[in-house]
Every structure is written in C-alpha cells, then in structure tokens.
Amino acid sequence: MAQYFDVHPDNPQPRALAQAARILADGGLIVYPTDSCFALGCALGNAEGIARIKRIRDLDDKHHFTLVVDEFAKLGEYVHMNNRDFRAVKAATPGPYTFILEATREVPKMMMHPKKRTVGVRIPQHRTTLELLKAYGAPMLSSTLLLPGHEDAQTDGWAIKELLDHDVDAVIDSGDCGLEPSTVVDMTGDVPEVVRVGAGDPSPFEE
C-alpha cells in the first residue's frame, strides 16, 4: 500500500518530505503535486520506476520523460541550450512548462527519446515540489499523471491514493494543483514548437 503524506501547501512539513525523499532514494515511485497537475516521479536511472510509469500510463518507448529540477542553474548539467534556448527557458521558469532539449551525457539513456536523444526539463512553480527536490538533493524523473481511460487529470490526492494504492509507493497531497498538464515546447528546431498546450501560456513561443 502507498504511503500518504498530507502536507501544507505553503509550509510543507519537512519530516513528511524527508520520508518521501527516502522513498525516492530507495528506488520508489511517488505521486506528487506540481503547478499544473499531479505527476509521477522516481530517481534518475531507476529502470523499474520507468517501467512502472509506462505500465500505469500505458506509454510506448517514444514517450518523452521529464527531468524535474528545483532551479534553473542546474539545467546546464543535463541539457544543451544555445543563447536563444537559455533566454526563453529562463524567462518562463519556474512555471507550468516542459521544454524538450538535447540531452547531455548526464541523462540516462532510458530517459531519452530513442532516436532524437532529447529529454523534457521542468522547473515547477510549486512550493511542495521545490521543497521535495531540496530534501531529495537531486533531480527527479517525472511524467504527468494522465491515466488511460480518464478524460481529465486526477485532482484529489486521496482519490489517487485509492486508485494507485498498489502501483505507487507514496502520494504527496498538498491540496488542489489544477487540471491542466504543463505546456510542452520543443526547442530543438530552428524555431520553438508548442507540441502541447496546457497550463502555461503558449503565446511567447508561437509566431
């Protein structure tokens, strides 16, 4: 059964986040809130975690997994950015955006798109997520919690716990975090391409 952590949205309890961080470090899979909707998260390089996410979401091998960090300065270790990318991503983060960029060698191959060698990166503007990442001390591999057969994203933490009780190891709930997933912007072409319109305003990336 999944552990359930009910944390305050403005002042999330450090002890609860420390426990969730240990679950990540021990190879677990968690559900956590973001500034758009709930997401699934595990440690980088966690092959079993990736397999579990694929089973839960019914994903194929072409899915772009996302690397979630708590500050912009850490992105350079994991993705290549030219001057255009640097300015655009910095201006939009933290926020409800996922950017697809060329991955560096620090990114496990199992996270990359198999042909493009790209990866999604994200810096959510959500207090609980950022404090969790600080407690964990490393980026998370992540995927939006959009379940097959469900038209809308899940918004209730306790309902998610009941639904995925035997599929994940923990659920962090800090109240409502919205219905829409992040807006996804592919930065690998000559011009940015909005590939999914979500919670983030797409207009800065549309011509």
What DSSP designation does 78 have?
Answer: T
pLDDT tens digits, one per residue of 10-35:
999 999 999 999 999 999 999 999 99
User: What does the block give as tokens for 87?
Assistant: 């300015």
Q: Work out the end-to-end distance of the chain between its first and last CA atoms, rounded to an integer number of angstroms.
A: 48
Tens of pLDDT, residues 103-134 = 999 998 888 887 889 999 999 999 999 999 99
DSSP 22: H
pLDDT recorded at residue 155: 82
Tokens of 40: 């699934």
Asked if 20 and 32 count as a contact pair (C-beta separation under 8 A), the reply is yes
Cα distance between residue 207 and residue 203, in whole Å: 8
Of the candidates 184, 177, 179, 178, the one whose C-alpha atom is nearest the C-alpha of residue 200 is: 184
- Cα–Cα dist 12/7, whole Å: 5
Q: Residue 111: its pLDDT value, please?
A: 85
Q: What are the sequence ranges of the domains in the chain?
A: 3-201
What pLDDT score does 150 carry?
Answer: 81
Q: What is the pLDDT of residue 185?
A: 97
pLDDT at residue number 110: 85
Q: What pLDDT, in 10s, does the model give residues 49-91?
A: 999 999 999 998 878 889 999 999 999 999 999 999 999 999 9
- Token digits of residue 83: 């001057």
* pLDDT tens digit sequence for 130-182: 999 999 999 999 999 988 888 777 888 999 999 999 999 999 999 888 788 99
Q: State the average pLDDT over residues 177-203.
A: 93
pLDDT at 182: 94
Give the strand pairing for 30-32 and 39-43: antiparallel
3-201 CATH fold: DHBP synthase (3.90.870)
Question: Residue 112 and residue 19: Cα distance in Å, rounded?
Answer: 28
> pLDDT at position 63, please?
82
